[in-house]
């Protein structure tokens, strides 16, 4: 299920602008005479359906691109029910099972992917480095390969269920100016989310596939509970976990459950919370507003997520070709560099390196202090000189995944318990 | 500027008004703050209420969602929609900028609430949608699919019996699958799906010989799997929506509404607090301003009292005292720069002025006193002057009397002496004495005239008189005097003059005589020309007589000319010494001319002579003949023999001598024939001697010859007269003389031997006895001698009283000669007494040295019959006696 719904309102505005631009470009499209300019319909969330990307892609590919952004649940429901409504679907790895089982998407042929070989081992072996730990739950390499029996598994075949592209690790952020001194000196830990010293100042993302793992990691770090497999909690484990959480909730430990990135920014900005589940863009946004929020690199490891780009089962011939063009474009370098500036990683980072300055590369991928002020996608300085990403380099971060965003077998039950928890 | 009290007062007033305004403004602000606070508070109460209602509604929403989730109740949906409407309405109410008590933060909260709410609504719709699809799937989904599979097997079993084990297995697995579905529906769990899938796989694993059946079953199983997948998907989605998304939204909404309530409350509190603070501050400010106002007002009052009113009162007192005339030693506020200072300085000035006024007043009083004394002096002087004038008049009258009386005596005695044979030398002395007496009398008369004119007592007579007599007298006097200096005199009268005029002949004569005498007096050689011109007005009743006297004398300078008409002034002192005279002559002439309404002017060239022009308006009788109208005219052929005509052109034309008939005498002698009438000019005795024989011959031949001669002395005149007996005329001559001359020429008469009758004393003998009333002995002797010589006897009375007694005692007098000025009783009184006493028929002739005209009138008034002016002339006495004495 989606790691972030309604990620940002800015891209929506950009989209509207872009839609107008679309009309213009549709009229002057430099496509072959007699052959209508093909239109690629992309369904997904705001995380990747950004107007700059659309414009850039249209210019590069000479096609029309239609973005259909929406809330995670909504788009997932629509996509799984009606594959003809889209050509490409962009979301998160935790939605792939639903799409695959509903046969809304078709396998993607590796041979048609220009840069397949450049894609790193995260989705191939699950380890970006030799020493990397495999995160619990639905690690991308476990759900990408289309097995011979039609299921998804680790065995490599000629086809894959999604194009690996955008991915990142998440943790929690905390406001250093509002933080207890004792904790500051300690090593960052998920356990802080349940620390009594922060009671009433904790925010959690309102999504059981994400927030539940934050809380589970926290409870485990605190030693309240231990899981057999944190990526596949049993009903009993859920009951135990939620009994603790509900207890805390009734003690008003949790200040709120946010449902969008702007809301998480608002939580922190208004000092409603001192610590909360966070996504990378929210941290950037707060930092650019001079709010000293630190994106933690918890000793227990990160919660990872992986973006998926899926081909509609209804996409055939021309629209399928265009869809492949777009998929290949995404890995052609510029888009990776573009999202790198938002803190996201691309699956073939080397190709994007040339679109980044050395300083950018060093900061975003190498985890080195910024040798100069770095600008965000909007052209505004988002990273001051000397700043350093928490958690180190790309390899460091992805070698330390505690759990991936996952739809567990006890998903329905967790939903029930989540409801009890947040309304308690 | 600021030193002016006006400015200071204006400033104080402005400050007071500004304070009032500020106070008013503060009060207003206070009120508006309070009312704003009140409004905000009441609004906040309402808002809090709304927020609470919102919370209630949201909880109700959640309740209805749960109800729907539980039993798909349509009423829950309706209720949900209504709640939604109500919530939206309340949110709008809160968002309404007019009623909204909050600010930007609120709108952010509200927008987030809106977002959550609309998401909630959207999600609920999805829930409803999913529920209906789920219901459909329950009816037409996997369960019916499984039922269909079961029926297929039942049908197959009927057609061709299937082994009982297969049937049992099938039923078991179908039952397992159905169980999994039903349990899933009850409580969604992935394990149940696995159970279902295992059951389906087991069913599929059942070998069925019948291929058709097999495929049919497989299809149905596939469908059942797909339907269940859909069901799980919908269920999961629904669960996610309801349990996560909607619950989160509702949670957040409730949190936000709590926040909103907190914000509203805290805002209300802060508003209330602010209101309280503002009100307090305003009150404090108001109090401060009030205090400041009071202080300022007090200051203004004190300022006004001490700086303005006090000084003004002081100054007013000062002014009061000043107005009462008190002396002020010092004035307060003198050194101030404002209006008070000005007032003080004004008071100072006032005080100074007061002092000045006082001193001025005293000066004025002094002056007034002096003026009064001067006035009285003046009055006195006036009275004195008047008295002096009166005295002068009396003096003059007395003088006239007192001088005339002895003069009468002198003149009378001289006259008497001249009538006796005396040695030549004595006769010469007597003549000179007579002449001196005449001069003295004329001087006295001049002074008297002047005095009379000055005194306004001179009256101009209006009587009819003949210019002929005026001319005769004028010629007689002027010619006599001119002859003595061998001056030629021309007397030319314009023919436009009429002979009879109305006026004062004596005064006119006096004017002409005076100027003529002057001309003679100031001319040593040459000639004097006297012209009479005149023009009669259109009515014919007024003659403008112009007399021009021209001489060739010493003349005058402009300066001298300007002074000659002033009294006691001659041209200059030297003139006075040389020519003598009183200097009154021309003054009298001027005054007389003025009195007659005429004009007098003079022009003169120094060393060449002077010209005096007198113009007098004279009334005339109409239709008179011209003065030359009776002058005979000569026949036109008559000749005038002259080299330089002595006869004026105008006279030539009167007698009809034309220019062609004028020729030189020698030329005339050479003529063969001469006309019957000849006028011959004899400019000198030599010419006469040369031509007298020829002239006599002509006369003898019957030619009428008239001679015209220039002015000559009396000796030469006698010679002419003896050598030429024919018509002869000498300059100056009057129109009457010219007429006579021309008559002789025309008639060719010879002149009779004329005797100078004036020189022969008429031997008159009268009879009678008269009373001579005279107090002066000399006059008694003179008058008495005259009377004796006339053969009249007389008695003498010394005064009026004596006269009255004598007459009363011996009333046999034929006439009384009564001097008017006498001691004891004057003549007037005596006359009155006599008339009163019944002597009404007795002629009484007044005698007076007083030449004034009114004296005669006074005499007549008291009853006198006539009046004689002293010195008594023999002739006048004779005439008077002849007139009044009874013979």
pLDDT digits (tens, 9 = 90+) for B662-704: 888 888 888 777 788 888 888 888 888 888 888 888 888 888 8
Name the B residues in 95-124 with CB < 8 Å from any A CB.
108, 112, 116, 119
Under the banding of pLDDT at 50, 70 and 90, the label for residue A240 is: very high
Touching check for B191 and chain A: CB below 8 Å? yes
Across the interface, whether the CB atoms of A412 and B190 are under 8 A apart is answered yes
| 8 Å CB contact between B128 and B140 | no
The stretch B737-751 carries a mean pLDDT of 81
The stretch B121-143 carries a mean pLDDT of 83
Touching check for B377 and chain A: CB below 8 Å? no
pLDDT at A402 over 80: yes
Q: How far apart are CA B226 and CA B232, in angstroms?
A: 10
pLDDT at A275 over 90: yes
Q: What is the largest CA-CA distance in chain B?
A: 244
DSSP string, B699-762: HHTT-EEEEEE----HHHHHHHHHH--S-EEESS--HHHHHHHHHHHHHT--PPPP--GGGSPP
Residue B36 confidence (pLDDT)? 76
Tell me what percent of the residues of chain B surpass a pLDDT of 70. 91
Touching check for B190 and chain A: CB below 8 Å? yes
| 8 Å CB contact between B174 and B199 | yes
Touching check for B251 and chain A: CB below 8 Å? yes
> Is the bond into A177 cis (omega within 30 degrees of 0)?
no
**Which chain B residues are within 8 Å of A266, Cβ to Cβ?**
108, 112
Q: Quick one: closest CA in A to B127, which residue? A: A74
Across the interface, whether the CB atoms of A409 and B191 are under 8 A apart is answered yes
pLDDT at A243 over 90: yes
Residue A273 confidence (pLDDT)? 93
Mutation target to probe the A interface, by most A beta carbons within 10 A, among B55, B113, B247 is B247
Under the banding of pLDDT at 50, 70 and 90, the label for residue A10 is: very low
To the question of pTM greater than 0.80 for the whole model, the response is no
Q: A10-168+304-351 and A169-302+399-423: same fold?
A: yes
Across the interface, whether the CB atoms of A259 and B248 are under 8 A apart is answered yes
Q: How far apart are CA B776 and CA B763, in angstroms?
A: 27
Residue A64 confidence (pLDDT)? 92
**Which chain A residues are within 8 Å of B189, Cβ to Cβ?**
410, 412-413
pLDDT at B363 over 90: no
pLDDT at B269 over 60: yes
The stretch B300-319 carries a mean pLDDT of 79
**Which chain A residues are within 8 Å of B235, Cβ to Cβ?**
412
Closest to B817 measured CA to CA, from B791, B780, B852, B851: B780
Q: Quick one: closest CA in B to A232, which residue? A: B190
Give span(s): CATH 3.30.565.10, chain B.
459-620
pLDDT at B713 over 80: no
Q: Quick one: closest CA in A to B240, which residue? A: A415
- Work out the angle between the directed axes of helices B247-302 and B5-71 (0-180°, nearest 10): 170
Residue B3 confidence (pLDDT)? 66
Across the interface, whether the CB atoms of A415 and B229 are under 8 A apart is answered no
pLDDT at B311 over 80: no
Q: Quick one: closest CA in B to A76, which residue? A: B237
**Which chain A residues are within 8 Å of B248, Cβ to Cβ?**
206, 257, 259, 422
Mutation target to probe the B interface, by most B beta carbons within 10 A, among A205, A250, A419 is A419
Across the interface, whether the CB atoms of A411 and B190 are under 8 A apart is answered yes
Under the banding of pLDDT at 50, 70 and 90, the label for residue A253 is: very high
pLDDT at B139 over 50: yes
How close B190 comes to chain A (CA, Å)? Answer: 5
| 8 Å CB contact between A258 and A279 | no
Touching check for B233 and chain A: CB below 8 Å? yes
Q: pLDDT (tens digit, 9 = 90+) per residue, A18-61?
A: 444 443 444 344 444 556 788 999 999 888 888 889 999 999 99
Task: Tokens for B781, please give them.
Answer: 């002797």
pLDDT at A274 over 50: yes
Touching check for B183 and chain A: CB below 8 Å? no
The stretch A189-199 carries a mean pLDDT of 92
Tell me what percent of the residues of chain A surpass a pLDDT of 90. 45
The stretch B70-99 carries a mean pLDDT of 80
The H-or-E segment that residue B547 falls in is: strand B542-551
Across the interface, whether the CB atoms of A409 and B240 are under 8 A apart is answered no
Residue A159 confidence (pLDDT)? 94
Touching check for B222 and chain A: CB below 8 Å? no
CA distances from A122 to A41, A100, A306, A326 (A): 28, 21, 10, 22
Q: Domain boundaries in chain A?
A: 10-168+304-351, 169-302+399-423, 356-392
Q: pLDDT (tens digit, 9 = 90+) per residue, A291-300?
A: 889 899 999 9
Q: pLDDT (tens digit, 9 = 90+) per residue, B796-829?
A: 888 888 888 888 887 788 888 888 888 888 888 8
pLDDT at B209 over 80: no
Q: Quick one: closest CA in B to A5, which residue? A: B245
Residue A277 confidence (pLDDT)? 92
Give span(s): CATH 3.40.50.2300, chain B.
769-884
Residue B633 confidence (pLDDT)? 84
What is the architecture, at CATH level 2, of domain B639-752?
Answer: 3-Layer(aba) Sandwich (3.40)
Under the banding of pLDDT at 50, 70 and 90, the label for residue A279 is: confident
How close A266 comes to chain B (CA, Å)? Answer: 10
At which residue do the structure tokens 């007494």 appear?
A: B833
Q: How far apart are CA B348 and CA B327, in angstroms?
A: 11
Q: Which of B190, B245, B251 sits opposite A423 (nearest CB)?
A: B251
CA atoms within 13 A on the CB side of B345: 8
pLDDT at B320 over 80: yes
What is the third-level CATH fold of A10-168+304-351?
A: D-Maltodextrin-Binding Protein; domain 2 (3.40.190)
The H-or-E segment that residue A289 falls in is: none
The stretch B102-107 carries a mean pLDDT of 53
Stretch among A315-324, B81-90, B200-209, B493-502 having the lowest mean pLDDT: B200-209
Q: How far apart are CA B557 and CA B551, in angstroms?
A: 15
pLDDT at A124 over 80: yes
What is the third-level CATH fold of A169-302+399-423?
A: D-Maltodextrin-Binding Protein; domain 2 (3.40.190)
Across the interface, whether the CB atoms of A411 and B236 are under 8 A apart is answered yes
Q: Which of A1, A80, A422 sits opposite B248 (nearest CB)?
A: A422
How close B87 comes to chain A (CA, Å)? Answer: 20
Across the interface, whether the CB atoms of A418 and B233 are under 8 A apart is answered no
Q: How many CB atoms are closer than 10 A to CB B659?
A: 10
Stretch among A28-32, B20-24, B629-633 having the lowest mean pLDDT: A28-32
DSSP state of A229: -
Closest to B249 measured CA to CA, from B87, B118, B66: B118
pLDDT at B94 over 80: no
pLDDT at A329 over 90: yes
Between residues B304 and B68, which one has the greater pLDDT? B68
Q: How far apart are CA B150 and CA B170, in angstroms?
A: 8
**Which chain A residues are within 8 Å of B191, Cβ to Cβ?**
409
| 8 Å CB contact between B494 and B736 | no
Closest to B77 measured CA to CA, from B61, B99, B90, B55: B61
Under the banding of pLDDT at 50, 70 and 90, the label for residue A359 is: very high
Q: Which of B116, B245, B255 sits opposite A73 (nearest CB)?
A: B245
CATH match of B769-884 with 3.40.50.1000:
no
Domain boundaries B459-620, corresponding CATH code: 3.30.565.10
Across the interface, whether the CB atoms of A73 and B233 are under 8 A apart is answered no
Label residue A185 exposed, middle or buried (CB < 10 Å: 0-12, 13-18, 19+).
exposed
Touching check for B806 and chain A: CB below 8 Å? no
Q: How far apart are CA B814 and CA B883, in angstroms?
A: 12
**Which chain A residues are within 8 Å of B245, Cβ to Cβ?**
73, 206, 259
Residue B759 confidence (pLDDT)? 41
Between residues B758 and A215, which one has the greater pLDDT? A215
Which alpha helices (H) appear in A42-107, and where do they start and end? 51-61, 72-81, 96-101
| 8 Å CB contact between A67 and A88 | no
pLDDT at B445 over 80: no
Q: How far apart are CA B402 and CA B409, in angstroms?
A: 11
| 8 Å CB contact between B590 and B601 | no
Closest to A147 measured CA to CA, from A137, A135, A161: A161
The stretch B751-770 carries a mean pLDDT of 59
**Which chain B residues are within 8 Å of A233, Cβ to Cβ?**
none
Touching check for B242 and chain A: CB below 8 Å? yes
Residue B583 confidence (pLDDT)? 65
Q: Quick one: closest CA in A to B109, which residue? A: A266
Mutation target to probe the A interface, by most A beta carbons within 10 A, among B113, B130, B248 is B248
Q: pLDDT (tens digit, 9 = 90+) per residue, A61-109?
A: 999 999 988 777 778 878 888 889 999 999 888 888 888 888 889 999 9
Closest to A271 measured CA to CA, from A338, A403, A177: A177
Residue B731 confidence (pLDDT)? 86
Touching check for B613 and chain A: CB below 8 Å? no
Q: Which of A1, A98, A410 sits opposite B233 (nearest CB)?
A: A98
Residue B348 confidence (pLDDT)? 78
Residue A174 confidence (pLDDT)? 93
Residue A9 confidence (pLDDT)? 36
| 8 Å CB contact between B121 and B192 | no
Residue B665 confidence (pLDDT)? 82
Residue B838 confidence (pLDDT)? 85
The number of helix segments (H) and strand segments (E) in chain B equals 26, 17
pLDDT at B569 over 70: no
Q: Quick one: closest CA in A to B233, which residue? A: A98
Touching check for B241 and chain A: CB below 8 Å? yes
How close A258 comes to chain B (CA, Å)? Answer: 8
Q: How far apart are CA B74 and CA B666, in angstroms?
A: 187
Between residues B462 and B568, which one has the greater pLDDT? B462
How close A381 comes to chain B (CA, Å)? Answer: 26
How close B244 comes to chain A (CA, Å)? Answer: 6
How close A60 comes to chain B (CA, Å)? Answer: 36
Residue A221 confidence (pLDDT)? 92
């Amino acid at each position: 299920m989606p790691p972030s719904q309604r990620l940002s309102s800015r891209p929506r505005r950009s989209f509207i602008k872009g839609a107008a631009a679309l009309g213009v470009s549709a009229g002057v499209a430099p496509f072959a005479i007699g052959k209508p300019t093909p239109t690629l319909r992309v369904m997904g969330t705001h995380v990747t359906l950004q107007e700059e990307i659309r414009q850039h892609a249209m210019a590069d590919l000479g096609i029309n691109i239609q973005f259909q952004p929406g809330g995670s649940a909504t788009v997932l429901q629509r996509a799984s029910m009606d594959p003809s409504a889209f050509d490409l679907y962009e979301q998160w790895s935790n939605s792939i099972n639903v799409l695959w089982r509903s046969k809304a998407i078709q396998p993607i042929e590796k041979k048609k992917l220009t840069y397949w070989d450049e894609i790193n081992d995260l989705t191939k072996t699950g380890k970006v480095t030799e020493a990397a730990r495999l995160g619990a739950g639905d690690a991308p390499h476990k759900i990408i390969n289309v097995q011979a029996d039609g299921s998804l598994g680790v065995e490599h075949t000629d086809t894959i269920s999604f194009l690996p592209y955008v991915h990142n690790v998440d943790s929690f952020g905390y406001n250093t100016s509002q933080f207890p001194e004792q904790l500051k000196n300690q090593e960052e830990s998920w356990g802080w989310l349940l620390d009594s010293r922060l009671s009433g100042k904790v925010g959690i993302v309102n999504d059981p596939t994400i927030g539940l793992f934050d809380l589970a990691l926290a409870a485990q770090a605190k030693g309240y509970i231990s899981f057999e497999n944190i990526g596949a909690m049993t009903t009993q484990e859920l009951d135990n976990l939620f009994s603790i959480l509900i207890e805390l909730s009734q003690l008003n430990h949790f200040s709120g459950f946010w449902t969008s990135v702007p809301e998480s920014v608002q939580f922190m900005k208004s000092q409603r919370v001192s610590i909360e589940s966070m996504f990378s863009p929210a941290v950037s946004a707060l930092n650019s507003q001079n709010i000293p929020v630190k994106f933690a690199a918890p000793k227990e490891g990160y919660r990872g997520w992986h973006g998926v780009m899926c081909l509609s089962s209804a996409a055939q011939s021309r629209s399928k070709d265009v869809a492949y063009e777009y998929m290949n474009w995404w890995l052609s370098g510029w888009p990776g560099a573009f999202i790198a500036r938002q803190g996201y990683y691309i699956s073939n980072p080397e190709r994007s390196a040339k679109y980044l300055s050395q300083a950018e590369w060093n900061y975003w991928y190498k985890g080195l202090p910024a040798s100069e002020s770095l600008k965000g996608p909007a052209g505004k300085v988002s990273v001051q000189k000397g700043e350093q990403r928490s958690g180190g380099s790309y390899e460091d971060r992805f070698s330390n995944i505690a759990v991936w965003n996952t739809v567990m077998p006890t998903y329905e039950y967790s939903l029930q318990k989540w409801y009890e928890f947040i309304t308690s | 500027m600021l030193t002016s009290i006006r400015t200071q007062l204006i400033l104080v007033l402005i400050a007071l008004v500004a304070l009032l305004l500020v106070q008013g403004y503060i009060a207003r602000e206070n009120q508006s703050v309070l009312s704003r606070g009140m409004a905000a508070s009441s609004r906040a109460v309402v808002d809090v209420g709304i927020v609470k209602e919102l919370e209630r509604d949201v909880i109700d929403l959640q309740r209805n969602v749960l109800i729907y989730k539980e039993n798909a109740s349509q009423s829950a949906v309706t209720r949900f929609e209504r709640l939604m409407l109500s919530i939206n309405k309340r949110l709008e109410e809160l968002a309404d900028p007019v009623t909204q008590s909050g600010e930007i933060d609120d709108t952010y909260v509200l927008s987030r609430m809106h977002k959550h709410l609309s998401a909630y609504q959207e999600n609920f719709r999805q829930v409803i949608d999913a529920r209906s699809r789920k219901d459909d799937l329950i009816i037409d989904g996997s369960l019916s699919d499984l039922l269909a599979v079961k029926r297929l097997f039942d049908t197959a079993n009927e057609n061709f019996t299937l082994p009982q084990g297969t049937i049992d297995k099938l039923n078991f697995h179908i039952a397992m699958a159905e169980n999994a579905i039903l349990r899933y529906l009850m409580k969604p769990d992935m394990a149940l799906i696995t159970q279902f899938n295992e059951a389906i796989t087991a069913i599929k694993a059942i070998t069925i010989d019948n291929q058709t059946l097999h495929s049919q079953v497989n299809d149905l199983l596939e469908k059942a799997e797909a339907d269940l997948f859909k069901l799980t998907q919908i269920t999961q989605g629904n669960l996610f929506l309801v349990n996560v998304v909607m619950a989160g939204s509702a949670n957040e909404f409730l949190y936000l509404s709590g926040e909103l309530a907190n914000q509203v409350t805290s805002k209300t509190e802060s508003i209330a607090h602010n209101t309280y603070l503002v009100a307090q501050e305003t009150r404090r400010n108001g109090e401060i301003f009030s205090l400041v106002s009071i202080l300022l007002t007090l200051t203004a009052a004190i300022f006004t009292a001490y700086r303005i009113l006090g000084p003004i009162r002081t100054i007013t007192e000062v002014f009061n005292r000043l107005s009462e005339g008190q002396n002020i030693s010092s004035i307060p506020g003198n050194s101030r720069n404002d209006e008070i200072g000005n007032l003080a300085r004004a008071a100072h000035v006032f005080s100074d002025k007061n002092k000045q006024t006082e001193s001025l007043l005293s000066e004025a009083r002094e002056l007034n006193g002096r003026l009064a004394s001067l006035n009285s002096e003046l009055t006195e002087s006036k009275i004195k002057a008047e008295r002096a004038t009166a005295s002068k008049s009396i003096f003059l009258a007395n003088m006239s009397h007192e001088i005339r009386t002895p003069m009468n005596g002198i003149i009378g005695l001289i006259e008497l002496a001249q009538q006796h044979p005396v040695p030549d030398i004595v006769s010469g002395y007597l003549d000179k004495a007579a002449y001196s007496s005449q001069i003295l009398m004329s001087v006295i008369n001049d002074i008297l005239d002047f005095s009379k004119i000055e005194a306004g007592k001179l009256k101009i007579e209006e009587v009819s008189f003949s210019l002929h007599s005026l001319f005769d007298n004028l010629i007689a006097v002027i010619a006599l005097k001119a002859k003595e200096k061998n001056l030629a005199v021309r007397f030319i009268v314009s023919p436009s003059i009429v002979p009879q005029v109305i006026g004062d002949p004596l005064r006119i004569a006096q004017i002409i005589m005076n100027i003529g005498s002057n001309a003679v007096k100031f001319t040593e050689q040459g000639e004097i020309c006297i012209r009479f011109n005149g023009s009669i007005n259109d009515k014919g009743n007024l003659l403008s007589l112009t007399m021009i006297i021209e001489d060739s004398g010493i003349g005058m300078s402009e300066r001298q000319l300007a002074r000659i008409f002033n009294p006691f002034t001659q041209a200059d002192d030297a003139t006075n010494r040389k020519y003598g005279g009183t200097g009154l002559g021309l003054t009298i002439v001027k005054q007389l001319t003025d009195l007659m309404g005429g004009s007098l002017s003079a022009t003169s060239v120094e060393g060449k002579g002077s010209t005096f022009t007198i113009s007098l308006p004279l009334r005339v009788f109409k239709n008179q003949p011209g003065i030359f109208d009776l002058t005979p005219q000569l026949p036109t052929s008559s000749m005038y023999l002259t080299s330089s005509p002595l006869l004026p052109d105008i006279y030539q034309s009167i007698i009809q001598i034309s220019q062609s008939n004028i020729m030189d005498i020698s030329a005339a002698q050479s003529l063969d024939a001469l006309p019957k009438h000849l006028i011959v000019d004899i400019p000198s005795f030599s010419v006469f001697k040369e031509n007298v024989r020829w002239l006599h011959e002509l006369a003898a031949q019957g030619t009428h010859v008239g001679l015209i001669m220039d002015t000559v002395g009396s000796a030469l005149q006698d010679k002419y007269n003896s050598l030429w007996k024919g018509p002869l005329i000498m300059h100056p001559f009057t129109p009457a003389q010219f007429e006579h001359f021309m008559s002789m020429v025309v008639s060719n008469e010879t002149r009779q031997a004329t005797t100078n009758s004036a020189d022969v004393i008429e031997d008159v003998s009268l009879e009678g006895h008269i009373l001579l009333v005279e107090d002066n002995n000399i006059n008694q002797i003179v008058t008495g001698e005259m009377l004796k010589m006339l053969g009249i006897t007389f008695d003498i009375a010394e005064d009026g009283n004596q006269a009255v007694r004598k007459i009363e005692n011996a009333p046999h007098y034929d006439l009384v000669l009564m001097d008017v000025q006498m001691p004891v009783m004057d003549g007037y009184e005596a006359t009155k007494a006599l008339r009163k006493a019944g002597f009404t028929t007795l002629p009484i002739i007044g005698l007076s040295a007083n030449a004034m005209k009114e004296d005669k009138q006074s005499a007549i008034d008291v009853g006198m019959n006539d009046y004689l002016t002293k010195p008594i002339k023999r002739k006048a006495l004779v005439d008077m006696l002849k007139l009044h004495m009874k013979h």
